[in-house]
């Protein structure tokens, strides 16, 4: 499968309808998604009741289409609309949140769940390294309790959700419920994959999480004592004794493995670490963060752009290489044959003809370069002239004036004249 690494720029346009105005930089950025589907917005209320100081985290609400809800505009710190058309694409919304996030940790979680007061605190504690200001590189997952019951209008204390009468389903590892990683690591591995196969409902932040695991990061599931609670929707996708609507069914656009996007499972299973289609801005940020050790290597670091070398160019280069290789083999075979039928003096002249018409090795005429040995003389190109130096003189430096003008050295303008001079000198 081809590895396309970016999406067209016009597909990445989003608008920030409300900008975070908190003066101090938050530690955690919580990204919450909607695609004109949320019936309630209680999640914001629960996330505003956290045990840590309010300035330590920000709430980023991302609407994939255009809807703007007054309650969301009031309670979220940052509100983004992505202006998508047709089938929604969650991963593009995740990337919009990632790009504007101010926190060093990003958390992508359900925008219609209930969160305990120590939820943000549990994220901070999980990433903070002891006796250090640095953050741990990891993939942190939080569990989610689910029930077939609808959200109660009079719920005001999440501690009551620990009681049995809510009929919570058996806990399983819901990889799409809540994931946290550092922003640096998310950028480093290309953000969330914007490939077309992730359009629709069956996708989630686990795409990035699993690719980070492939890169050697530890995945940690938090103790379920700190988890979110999720109530059923009036028109659920799951099996709550109701059949999902046709609209919901059409949102499941791609094949899946146990309700996990097939492309994400393919990446997890094959060990792939980068997205198939990388957000253009995240690509630029990732490439800008590289630390290249020398100026010499930098010229190779930006020769192609995210699409790589064009296939036509690669094909042409491969063909040229094979033709050059074939040419060299044929030349050697022909020369070997000529050696068996021609006298040495003729072979020398053929070499001169070859060097005359193909002097590719003469890159710097200001540096003496040996190109031929003939009858005890070394023929050297230097300063656009040919010097025939007797081999018995040993090492000879033409850059020295006294050796350059030595009468024993033949100095002419072409290889042919040098050969004639040598013949005349030796025959007397």
Given this model, what pLDDT does residue 360 score? 46
Give the residue extent of every domain in the chain.
Answer: 9-288, 309-337, 342-427
- The structure tokens listed for 365 are 């005429």
Distance, in Å, from the CA atom of 264 to the CA atom of 179, rounded to the nearest integer, reads: 15
Distance, in Å, from the CA atom of 13 to the CA atom of 83, rounded to the nearest integer, reads: 8
Query: Exposed (0-12), middle (13-18) or buried (19+): which is 329, by Cβ within 10 Å?
Result: exposed
Task: Write down the pTM of the prediction.
Answer: 0.77
- The structure tokens listed for 84 are 């998508």
The phi, psi pair for 179, rounded to 5°, reads -135, 140
Q: Can you give the three-state secondary structure of 3-51, one letter per residue?
A: CCCCCCHHHHCCEEEECCCCCCCCCEEEEEEECCCCCCCHHHHHHCCCC
3-state secondary structure of 377: strand
Distance, in Å, from the CA atom of 12 to the CA atom of 91, rounded to the nearest integer, reads: 11
- The structure tokens listed for 159 are 């501690």
Distance, in Å, from the CA atom of 279 to the CA atom of 357, rounded to the nearest integer, reads: 51
Distance, in Å, from the CA atom of 424 to the CA atom of 245, rounded to the nearest integer, reads: 102
Nearest Cα neighbor of 82 from 60, 100, 101, 64 is 64
pLDDT digits (tens, 9 = 90+) for 13-24: 899 999 998 889
CATH topology of domain 9-288: Spore Coat Polysaccharide Biosynthesis Protein SpsA; Chain A (3.90.550)
Orientation of helix 206-214 relative to helix 262-270, angle to 10°:
10
Q: Can you give the three-state secondary structure of 202-232, one letter per residue?
A: CCCCHHHHHHHHHCCCEEEECCCCCCEEEEE
Q: Is residue 83 within 8 Å of 67, Cβ to Cβ?
A: no
Distance, in Å, from the CA atom of 423 to the CA atom of 365, rounded to the nearest integer, reads: 26
- The structure tokens listed for 425 are 């000198």
Distance, in Å, from the CA atom of 166 to the CA atom of 230, rounded to the nearest integer, reads: 11
For the sheet with 385-390, list strands across it. Answer: 369-374, 377-382, 385-390, 410-412
Nearest Cα neighbor of 28 from 58, 62, 52 is 58
Question: How many H-runs (helices) and E-runs (strands) does the chain carry?
Answer: 14, 17
Nearest Cα neighbor of 137 from 186, 173, 175 is 186
The phi, psi pair for 372, rounded to 5°, reads -165, 145
Q: Is residue 230 within 8 Å of 147, Cβ to Cβ?
A: yes
Query: Exposed (0-12), middle (13-18) or buried (19+): which is 172, by Cβ within 10 Å?
Result: exposed
Orientation of helix 344-357 relative to helix 415-427, angle to 10°:
150
Q: Which residue has the tokens 């994220």?
A: 123
Given this model, what pLDDT does residue 331 score? 82
Distance, in Å, from the CA atom of 366 to the CA atom of 1, rounded to the nearest integer, reads: 52
CA 150 to chain centre: 42
For residue 208, the tally of other CB atoms under 10 A from its CB is 28
CA 377 to chain centre: 58
- The structure tokens listed for 64 are 């994939």
- The structure tokens listed for 424 are 């005349």
- Per-residue pLDDT of the chain (428 residues), as tens digits, is 333 444 444 445 899 999 998 889 999 999 999 999 999 999 999 999 999 999 999 999 999 999 999 999 999 999 999 999 999 999 999 999 999 999 999 999 999 999 999 999 999 999 998 888 899 999 999 999 999 999 999 999 999 999 888 999 999 999 999 999 999 999 999 999 999 999 999 999 999 999 999 999 999 999 999 999 999 986 544 445 556 666 666 777 778 899 899 999 999 999 999 999 999 999 999 999 999 999 999 999 999 988 899 999 999 999 999 999 999 899 889 878 887 887 877 777 666 666 554 544 555 667 888 888 888 999 998 888 899 999 999 888 988 888 888 999 999 988 888 888 998 888 87
Q: How far is CA 73 from CA 26, 44, 78, 103, 321, in A?
A: 19, 11, 8, 20, 61
Beta strands 256-257; 260-261: pairing state: antiparallel
């Amino acid at each position: 499968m081809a590895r396309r690494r970016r999406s067209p720029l016009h597909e990445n346009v989003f608008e920030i309808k409300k900008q975070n105005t908190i003066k101090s930089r938050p530690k955690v950025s919580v990204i919450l998604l909607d695609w004109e589907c949320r019936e309630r917005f209680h999640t914001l209320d629960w996330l505003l009741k956290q045990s840590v100081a309010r300035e330590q985290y920000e709430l980023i609400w991302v609407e994939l289409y255009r809807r703007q809800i007054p309650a969301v505009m009031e309670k979220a710190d940052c509100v983004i609309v992505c202006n998508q058309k047709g089938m929604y694409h969650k991963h593009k919304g995740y990337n919009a949140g990632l790009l504007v996030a101010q926190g060093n940790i990003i958390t992508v979680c359900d925008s219609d769940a209930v969160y305990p007061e120590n939820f943000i605190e549990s994220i901070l504690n999980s990433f903070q390294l002891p006796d250090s200001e640095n953050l741990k590189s990891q993939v942190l997952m939080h569990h989610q309790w689910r029930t077939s019951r609808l959200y109660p209008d009079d719920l005001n204390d999440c501690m009551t959700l620990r009681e049995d009468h809510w009929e919570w389903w058996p806990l399983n590892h819901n990889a799409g419920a809540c994931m946290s990683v550092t922003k640096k690591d998310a950028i480093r591995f290309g953000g969330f994959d914007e490939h077309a196969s992730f359009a629709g409902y069956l996708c989630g932040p686990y795409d990035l999480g699993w690719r980070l695991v492939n890169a050697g990061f530890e995945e940690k599931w938090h103790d379920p004592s700190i988890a979110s609670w999720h109530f059923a929707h009036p028109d659920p996708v799951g099996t709550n004794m109701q059949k999902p609507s046709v609209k919901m069914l059409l949102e499941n656009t791609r094949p899946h493995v146990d309700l996990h996007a097939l492309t994400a499972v393919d990446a997890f299973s094959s060990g792939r670490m980068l997205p198939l289609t990388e957000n253009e801005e995240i690509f630029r940020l990732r490439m800008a963060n590289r630390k290249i050790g020398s100026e010499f290597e930098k010229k190779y670091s930006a020769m192609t752009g995210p699409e790589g070398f064009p296939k036509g160019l690669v094909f042409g280069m491969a063909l040229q290489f094979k033709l050059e290789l074939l040419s060299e083999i044929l030349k050697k075979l022909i020369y070997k044959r000529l050696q068996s039928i021609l006298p040495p003096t003729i072979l020398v002249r053929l070499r001169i003809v070859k060097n005359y018409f193909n002097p590719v090795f003469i890159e710097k005429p200001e540096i003496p370069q040996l190109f031929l040995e003939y009858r005890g003389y070394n023929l050297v190109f230097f300063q656009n002239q040919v010097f025939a130096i007797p081999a018995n003189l040993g090492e000879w430096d033409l850059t020295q004036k006294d050796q350059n003008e030595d009468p024993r050295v033949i100095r002419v303008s072409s290889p042919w004249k040098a050969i004639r001079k040598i013949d005349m000198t030796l025959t007397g």
